[in-house]
């Protein structure tokens, strides 16, 4: 493809030729195999790349087009010394300028890089302080999921994306960056309570990250891993303090949580492929989305004035309670069967938002039309493992937000949707001696047996859902060195079998119809087509028993068998056997 058409604009022959030289220099600089042979071009240095980029701009090329080439193609470590930032800023690049077709501004694109702009003091000519200082107030951009630059910064620090190539030293760099950069972002009027389209705020990400790092520090105390987790925990605490100070000093203003109509409009614009508009008065005609923008990737990136962090939901009492919880949490205790307290710190919820979430129903899938409060935990455990289940449309994002508001789902520090502890504990056992009982009631010995049976929890969609529940509830943890799960018991004992002889136990279960069934077709006791046979009623055959969302239903299993027993929530009286849906196959109807 000719360089003159890469951004859909026609360029003069001189500019087009300069762009071709820039592309060749960039490819050669990255050391792509065969680049020098193909273009008869010597290996380039970063100075060569900058010189070629300067030639493009000198001949009349667009600095945004140059920035797009550099952002997309230059290896991450080349941005570390700040020379590329300095060059682009020197030639008119502003942090709020849209540089990528997806709608990302220069600031968003740089913070999405594994090597973000440095903060002062640093040898770089242009730092994060400089970029934020020239950011025009009232112009904010978001990603396709409504994440602000502050969201992106926090997630990349906590997930380990920043400075990953530094190896063990990257932990210290990320901790330093998180502790220093978040206050700078707060000072530049980024609101820590602004939520993305899924209802997450930067403060919530920081609290979850602090708790997770606290658990890691306690678990690996006295090791380099424990020290790294402790540093990150301290950095997250410092960042949270900066956000709390901003909230406490903010005047009353607009609610940072947008209306669902605005969120729907934002998603609709992205799905329609709308083109980013410039700031010439168009901001006043756009609906407001999370973080004060209706745009993002493939949509409008500019907005009107950014909302303040005030409002009725930002009360000082909430901040004091959260800080007390953060200071008192050590995160190192093992699971106790008598403990039912939810670990996640809940943000104060608007009464109207909570009422709307309680009234919301499942919009699709096996439980379409059922109130979200009554959707079984086992179904949610399956759904969070399905890629894209809560993405792709305004309705899906809105439903995810309602489930988060109800405390049934949450996000981990990497941004992935996961179960809350209370939801995981409500999941009913789909098989075995304790079939139908909530996970919280299953004895430790049985959980230890489940974890000890190699491959048991990876055989089907239902068993993988149970695996997620064991992890989210704290009943088990990953064994990264050996694979599988390790049970987390109240005592230090690790019981790997429910009886002394596991074969005797399996034989007893099979004879008593307790849910396990050996099949001669499988060398490990599993049939190739029939994974489970619970009381002659439960079958998972791996074939077409799925609804439009892919959930494998159980033929002959009543809806009540999957229902959760939650306080104050009754089951529908007319709910019985799953009826066959219209226009679908018999197996599909059971979904």
CB atoms under 10 Å from CB of 125, counted, come to 14
The pair of three-digit structure tokens given for residue 503, joined into one six-digit string: 């074969």
23 and 130 in a single domain? The answer is no
Spatial distance between the Cα atoms of 31 and 27, rounded to a whole number of angstroms? 7
Helix axes 13-29, 46-58, angle to 10 degrees: 170
Helix axes 224-249, 202-219, angle to 10 degrees: 150
In a domain, 579, yes or no: no
271 and 174 in a single domain? The answer is yes
14 and 120 in a single domain? The answer is no
User: According to the model, what pLDDT value does residue 174 have?
Assistant: 92
168 and 316 in a single domain? The answer is yes
User: According to the model, what pLDDT value does residue 372 have?
Assistant: 92
In a domain, 69, yes or no: yes
Query: Which residue, chain included where needed, has tokens 């909530």?
Result: 438
317 and 286 in a single domain? The answer is yes
129 and 273 in a single domain? The answer is yes
In a domain, 113, yes or no: yes
| Structural domains of the chain, count | 2
- Does residue 533 sit in helix, strand or coil? strand
* CB contact set of 486 (below 8 Å; sequence gap of 6+): 451, 476, 477, 478, 479, 494
- Mark 178-210 as b/e (b = at least 16 C-beta within 10 Å): bbbbbbbbbebbbbbbbbbbbbbbbbbbbbbbb
What's the pTM value of the predicted model, to 2 decimals? 0.49
Backbone angles phi and psi of 86, in degrees to 5 = -60, -40
In a domain, 232, yes or no: yes
39 and 117 in a single domain? The answer is no
9 and 104 in a single domain? The answer is no
* CB contact set of 193 (below 8 Å; sequence gap of 6+): 201, 202, 203, 243, 247, 256, 309, 314, 347
Looking at 401-516, which runs of residues are DSSP E strands? Answer: 409-411, 417-419, 476-478, 485-487
Please give the C-alpha separations between residue 25 and each of 18, 135, 313, in angstroms, as whole numbers.
Answer: 10, 31, 53
In a domain, 424, yes or no: no
296 and 322 in a single domain? The answer is yes
Last residue of a domain, one of 280, 309, 327: 327
In a domain, 462, yes or no: no
68 and 110 in a single domain? The answer is no
The pair of three-digit structure tokens given for residue 140, joined into one six-digit string: 């904010």
The pair of three-digit structure tokens given for residue 350, joined into one six-digit string: 């608007």
Q: Of 74, 72, 13, 6, whose CA–CA distance to 45 is shortest?
A: 74
Last residue of a domain, one of 327, 350, 380: 327
Contact 150, 202 (CB under 8 A): yes
* CB contact set of 307 (below 8 Å; sequence gap of 6+): 191, 194, 253, 254, 255, 256, 288, 292
111 and 15 in a single domain? The answer is no
Range of the domain at 236: 92-327
In a domain, 379, yes or no: no
User: According to the model, what pLDDT value does residue 11 have?
Assistant: 62
User: According to the model, what pLDDT value does residue 351 have?
Assistant: 80
Strand partners, 347: none
Spatial distance between the Cα atoms of 429 and 562, rounded to a whole number of angstroms? 9
Alpha helices by DSSP H, listed for 33-148, are: 35-39, 46-58, 63-73, 83-90, 106-111, 128-133
39 and 133 in a single domain? The answer is no
* CB contact set of 465 (below 8 Å; sequence gap of 6+): 378, 381, 382, 385, 427
Last residue of a domain, one of 308, 327, 346: 327
Show pLDDT as tens, one digit a residue, over the chain (591 residues). 444 444 445 566 778 888 788 888 887 776 643 343 444 444 678 888 888 888 888 888 888 888 888 888 777 677 877 888 888 888 888 888 888 877 788 888 889 888 898 888 777 778 888 888 877 654 557 887 888 999 999 999 998 889 888 877 888 899 999 999 999 999 888 888 888 877 778 888 898 888 888 888 888 888 888 888 899 999 999 998 887 766 555 544 444 444 444 444 444 444 444 333 333 333 333 333 333 332 333 332 222 333 334 433 333 334 434 443 443 333 333 333 333 334 344 445 668 788 888 999 998 888 889 999 999 999 999 998 888 888 878 888 888 888 988 889 987 755 678 899 999 998 988 888 888 888 888 888 888 888 888 778 878 888 888 988 998 888 888 776 566 788 886 533 333 333 334 444 445 444 444 333 333 232 222 323 333 333 333 333 333 334 444 454 433 334 444 344 333 333 343 433 333 334 344 444 444
Please give the C-alpha separations between residue 434 and each of 139, 442, 467, in angstroms, as whole numbers.
Answer: 56, 7, 16
In a domain, 24, yes or no: yes
Quick one: CA dihedral 81, 83, 84, 90, positive or negative? positive
């Amino acid at each position: 493809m000719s360089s003159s058409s890469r951004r859909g604009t026609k360029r003069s022959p001189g500019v087009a030729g300069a762009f071709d030289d820039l592309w060749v220099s960039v490819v050669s600089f990255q050391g792509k195999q065969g680049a020098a042979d193909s273009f008869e071009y010597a290996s380039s240095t970063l100075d060569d790349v900058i010189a070629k980029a300067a030639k493009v701009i000198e001949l009349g090329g667009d600095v945004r087009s140059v920035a797009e080439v550099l952002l997309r193609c230059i290896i991450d470590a080349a941005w570390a010394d700040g020379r590329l930032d300095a060059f682009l800023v020197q030639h008119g690049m502003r942090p709020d300028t849209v540089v990528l077709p997806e709608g990302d501004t220069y600031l968003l694109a740089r913070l999405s890089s594994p090597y973000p702009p440095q903060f002062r003091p640093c040898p770089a000519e242009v730092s994060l302080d400089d970029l934020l200082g020239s950011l025009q107030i009232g112009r904010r951009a978001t990603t396709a999921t409504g994440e602000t630059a502050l969201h992106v910064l926090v997630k990349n620090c906590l997930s380990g994306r920043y400075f990953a190539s530094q190896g063990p030293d990257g932990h210290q760099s990320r901790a330093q960056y998180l502790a220093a950069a978040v206050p700078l972002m707060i000072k530049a009027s980024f609101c820590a309570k602004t939520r993305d389209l899924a209802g997450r705020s930067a403060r919530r990400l920081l609290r979850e990250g602090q708790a997770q790092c606290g658990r890691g520090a306690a678990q690996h105390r006295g090791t380099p891993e424990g020290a790294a987790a402790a540093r990150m925990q301290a950095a997250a605490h410092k960042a949270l303090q900066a956000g709390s100070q901003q909230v406490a000093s903010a005047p009353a203003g607009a609610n940072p949580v947008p209306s669902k109509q605005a969120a729907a409009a934002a998603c609709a614009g992205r799905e329609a492929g709308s083109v980013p508009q410039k700031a010439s008065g168009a901001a006043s005609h756009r609906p407001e989305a999370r973080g004060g923008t209706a745009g993002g990737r493939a949509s409008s990136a500019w907005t009107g004035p950014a909302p303040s962090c005030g409002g009725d939901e930002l009360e000082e009492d909430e901040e004091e309670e959260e800080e007390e919880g953060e200071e008192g949490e050590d995160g190192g205790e093992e699971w106790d069967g008598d403990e039912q307290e939810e670990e996640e710190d809940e943000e104060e919820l608007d009464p109207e938002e909570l009422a709307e979430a309680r009234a919301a129903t499942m919009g699709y899938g096996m439980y379409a039309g059922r109130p979200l409060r009554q959707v079984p935990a086992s179904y949610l455990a399956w759904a969070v493992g399905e890629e894209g289940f809560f993405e792709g449309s305004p309705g899906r994002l809105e439903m995810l937000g309602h489930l988060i508001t109800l405390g049934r789902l949450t996000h981990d520090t990497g941004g992935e949707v996961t179960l809350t502890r209370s939801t995981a504990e409500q999941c009913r056992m789909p098989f075995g001696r304790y079939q139908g009982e909530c996970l919280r009631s299953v004895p430790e010995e049985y959980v230890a047996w489940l974890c000890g049976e190699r491959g048991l929890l990876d055989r089907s969609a239902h068993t993988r859902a149970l695996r997620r529940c064991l992890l989210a509830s704290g009943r088990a943890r990953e064994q990264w060195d050996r694979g599988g799960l390790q049970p987390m018991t109240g005592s230090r004992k690790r019981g790997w079998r429910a009886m002394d002889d596991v074969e005797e136990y399996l034989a007893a279960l099979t004879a008593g119809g307790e849910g396990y069934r050996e099949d001669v077709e499988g060398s490990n006791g599993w049939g190739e087509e029939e994974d489970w046979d619970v009381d002659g009623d439960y079958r998972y055959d791996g074939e077409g028993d799925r609804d439009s969302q892919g959930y494998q239903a159980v033929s002959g299993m009543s809806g009540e068998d999957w229902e959760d027993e939650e306080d104050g929530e009754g089951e529908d009286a007319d709910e019985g056997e799953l009826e066959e849906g219209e226009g679908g196959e018999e197996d599909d109807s059971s979904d």
